[in-house]
Amino acid sequence: MARFLFASIPVPAHTTNALPFAARLVERGHEVVWYAGRAFHQRIAAVGAIPIPYRAATDWEGDPTDAFPQLRVSGPRAIGRGFADVFVGEAAARVADLRPVLAAERFDAMLHDGLMIGVGMLSELTGVPHATFGDGPLPYLEPDTPPFGPGLQPMRGPVGRLRNRLIGAMATKLIFGRAQEVYDRTRADLGLPRDPRPALDAVASPMLHMQGAVPSFDYPRRHLPPTVHWVGALRPDPPRDWTAPAWWSQVVDSRRAVVHVTQGSIRPDMTELVLPSLRGLAGEDVLVVVTTGGPSQVEVEAAHDGPLPANALVTPFIPYEVMFRHASAVVTNGGYTGVTLALSHGLPLVQAGTTEEKSEIGARIRWTGVGVALRTTRPKPEAVRTGVRRVLTEPSFRAAAERVRAEMAPHDAGREGAVLLERLAETGAPVTTSVSPMSADRPRVR
């Protein structure tokens, strides 16, 4: 039996996405201890892992801007502040919380989401190998890949490479400059040498990184480290206690196209995407199913200033894996988990969102042709309507989404991740892509 230490930031997707990894490890006879926000402890315990709380690190529930109001900005500025104040800024506190845990008990390997920066430093301090999983766009800067942050698309040839270098240098200084200072200072305070990598690269472990997507939903990349493993969409296990709404049969039996509108899990402002979608699609021959991430139908009706359109159904939550079996298209604020799960079902997208890393996700939606990106957090109703009409009637969007679905189909991220983590725990050495965990239960490593 091996013992694993998991760590995740207190954001729903960044914690719950790792539940299948933990569940498969527990099923295979291993022990998992999980450092997480208290709001997730019950779900963590339900898969057989042992939750432990934050102490020095900041815990929060729901919208991180409640704990860090300085993040209430959009676009690249939000990314920069998030890295400086939260993802890198909390690193020293995470090390302080976890160092005694590692001193008291033996652990064979650690896994954390890419934004839980500090665990990699802990790995250097203790010698316990660490892995990361990616539920956001890969940030690696390559000559032919635009820098992370501004939401740019690839530009081929020497002009594109020059653009990438110039904007990459600007982004490093203007967007991530403060985060880099905090990262360098934290390492120095811990007695660690200066990291030759930029702070942004710390989101991916140099020993094992499991990316929750496939190459067809990213930019062309020729220089990824061999320790990056594409594991497909981070599919949750089937829900154990979800109760379908009373109107669910209308969805299952619908002869009209079903359009799913999802606000995501951390932005409960219904005026951003839900109300424009309800108003824009009110006269369309579709069934609109809205999940709010929290607010009730009564609250949505109040925000709507009256009854909902006749073709609309609203509920706080439907498991994506259940909803997507019946959908024809998805209107989303662009969270990476929802987008990749929709693509794992071959569903075309209409995306509206520029907060956090959503401009980067929207740029990939445009680049891969799987949908329409509206390039705003607050779209006009007519923009949503036009986008939905396009993805439902223009075959290219469905065809592009189907190509991504076909590439994702062979993957089982939970099982593959468990196998890769076992190899990391066994060897303590980097786990490379010499053999895929899809083809062998115990992959060889170089």
pLDDT tens sequence for the chain (446 residues): 999 999 999 988 899 999 999 999 999 999 999 999 999 999 999 999 999 999 999 998 766 667 677 666 655 667 778 788 889 999 999 999 999 999 999 999 999 999 999 999 999 999 999 999 999 998 787 888 888 877 888 888 888 888 888 888 877 777 788 889 999 999 999 999 999 988 888 899 999 999 999 999 999 888 899 999 999 999 999 888 899 999 999 999 999 999 999 987 766 788 899 999 999 999 999 999 999 988 889 999 998 988 999 999 999 999 999 999 999 999 999 999 999 999 999 999 999 987 778 889 999 999 999 999 999 989 999 999 999 999 999 999 999 999 999 999 999 999 999 999 999 999 999 999 875 566 545 433 33
Q: What is the pLDDT of residue 439?
A: 55
Of the candidates 211, 75, 59, 193, the one whose C-alpha atom is nearest the C-alpha of residue 139 is: 211
Q: How far is residue 132's CA from residue 318's CA, in Å, rounded to a whole number?
A: 28
Q: What is the pLDDT of residue 72?
A: 63
Q: What is the pLDDT of residue 446?
A: 35
Tokens representing 331?
């209107």
Q: Lay out the sheet containing 228-230: strands in order across.
A: 50-52, 31-35, 3-7, 109-113, 130-134, 209-211, 228-230
Sort residue 75 into left (φ over 0), alpha (ψ -120 to 50) or beta.
left
Of the candidates 251, 293, 252, the one whose C-alpha atom is nearest the C-alpha of residue 269 is: 293
Q: What is the pLDDT of residue 266?
A: 67
Q: What is the pLDDT of residue 71?
A: 62
For residues 162 and 156, the answer to whether their CB atoms sit within 8 Å is: no
Q: What is the pLDDT of residue 73?
A: 61
Long-range contacts, stretch 51-54, CB < 8 angstroms, 24+ apart: 52/101, 54/10, 54/93, 54/94, 54/97
How many angstroms separate the Cα of 51 from the Cα of each of 33, 54, 98, 416, 422?
6, 10, 13, 23, 20
Question: Roughly how many angstroms between the first and final C-alpha of the chain, as a whole number?
Answer: 23
For residues 4 and 421, the answer to whether their CB atoms sit within 8 Å is: yes
Q: How far is residue 111's CA from residue 90's CA, in Å, rounded to a whole number?
A: 17
Long-range contacts, stretch 47-51, CB < 8 angstroms, 24+ apart: 47/19, 47/22, 47/23, 47/237, 48/22, 48/23, 49/6, 49/22
